[in-house]
Chain A
Amino acid sequence: KQEVTQIPAALSVPEGENLVLNCSFTDSAIYNLQWFRQDPGKGLTSLLLIQSSQREQTSGRLNASLDKSSGRSTLYIAASQPGDSATYLCAVPDDMRFGAGTRLTVKP
């Protein structure tokens, strides 16, 4: 059964810093991985879907990479802003298993 782990559990950075969030999964036989953002008390917002045939996917200041062989994905956030403060979650198919998330705080 697929297990997903996210490190770190929480991260606090000053505004403007670049940062990396990590997601590890145990079963490398995946065909995509999706990153989400969740604001307190809200549902999840899709950020990026990275397919197994891709090594990277970019959307604005976000860049996600996927290394199936090592069972890892990273989400890179450039020039962080206070509005980026949220919990970031990754999920893998087929039944969309989630990690516990990384709670990000960007301080002005």
Chain B
Amino acid sequence: DTGVSQNPRHKITKRGQNVTFRCDPISEHNRLYWYRQTLGQGPEFLTYFQNEAQLEKSRLLSDRFSAERPKGSFSTLEIQRTEQGDSAMYLCASSKGTANTEAFFGQGTRLTVV
């Protein structure tokens, strides 16, 4: 098991373009989380899934943001019509989802909107 994998690691896009990030969780982890992190701040919760069900979405996740986990395995986070304020590190984590289990993070995708 290679841990949580996120792709791409870096993405530079022009304002107004759409971007999509992918997260592959640890196998058999049925819970998957997405976070956004800006410099000097802790991770801000965006959303999480239990298998393919999206259980909670932060109000930070505006209409331009959408996340999917269609088969309960990998997940994608799409940002439409990107803005400069979307520039951040996007982090994904997974866990077994039962009580008292650790969450493990990927290395993140750094998005720069120019």
Name A residues whose Cβ lies closer than 8 Å to a Cβ of B. 6, 31-32, 34, 36, 41-46, 49, 51, 89, 91, 93, 95-101
B105 within 8 A of A: yes
Complex alpha-carbon distance, A97 and B39, angstroms: 17
Determine whether the beta carbon of B105 is less than 8 Å from that of A44.
yes
Determine whether the beta carbon of B103 is less than 8 Å from that of A43.
no
* Interface residues of B, count at CB 8 A: 26
Residues of A with C-beta under 8 A to B108: 42-43
Complex alpha-carbon distance, A98 and B35, angstroms: 10
Residues of A with C-beta under 8 A to B101: 49
Q: A42-B108, A43-B91 are in contact. Are A98 and B45 (CB under 8 A)?
A: yes
Name B residues whose Cβ lies closer than 8 Å to a Cβ of A. 4, 6, 33, 35, 41-45, 48, 55-56, 89, 91, 93, 99-108, 110
One of B43, B45, B99 near A44 (C-beta < 8 A): B43
Determine whether the beta carbon of B102 is less than 8 Å from that of A98.
no
Determine whether the beta carbon of B45 is less than 8 Å from that of A31.
no
Determine whether the beta carbon of B43 is less than 8 Å from that of A98.
yes
